[in-house]
Amino acid sequence: MERESQLRAHLEALAARDWTDAVGEKADGVIEDIETIARHRAVIVARLRKKAARDVKTLFKVDAAAAALLRQMAERLARADERAIEVYLEAADFLRALRADMAADRGDARTFDDPAEMAAFLRQSLGV
């Protein structure tokens, strides 16, 4: 019985806690990880394109049809990876927006309805 009341008290304390800061800190790390993955994939795509271009050039001397096929396959792979990169970056942006919404719900974050007001705030903050 005592153990149950201790557990209940602990759960009530957890439910009453403001998790915004903890979630915001985790979100920052996850956003950073997602963007790191996207940057690495972008490097891989650039390398793929370069390597494919060299291979196509070499293969074209031997078989033009095979070179054209290789070019198409490499382009498809690169486009697929570029779409994946876009998804990663959209996920990072979504997490940023979610974190901002959570901060706004707390009332300590400045929000803007007017783009000109936001631009003025950013200029002032950056000292521009």
pLDDT in tens, 14-51: 556 655 566 667 778 888 999 999 999 999 999 999 99
Residue 17 belongs to a domain = no
Note whether residue 16 is domain-resident. no
Q: Which long-range contacts (CB under 8 A, 24 or more apart) does 85-88 make?
A: 85/38, 85/41, 85/42, 85/45, 88/34, 88/35, 88/37, 88/38, 88/41
- pTM score over 0.85: no
In a domain, 9, yes or no: no
The total of structural domains in the chain comes to 1
Per-residue pLDDT at 110 exceeds 80: no
Range of the domain at 105: 24-126
Per-residue pLDDT tens digits for 82-105:
999 999 999 988 888 887 777 666
**CA-CA distance, 28 to 89, in Å (whole number)?**
14
| Residue 11 located in a structural domain | no
| 11, pLDDT greater than 70 | no
Cα separation, 109 vs 112, in Å, equals 10
Q: What is the pLDDT of residue 60?
A: 93
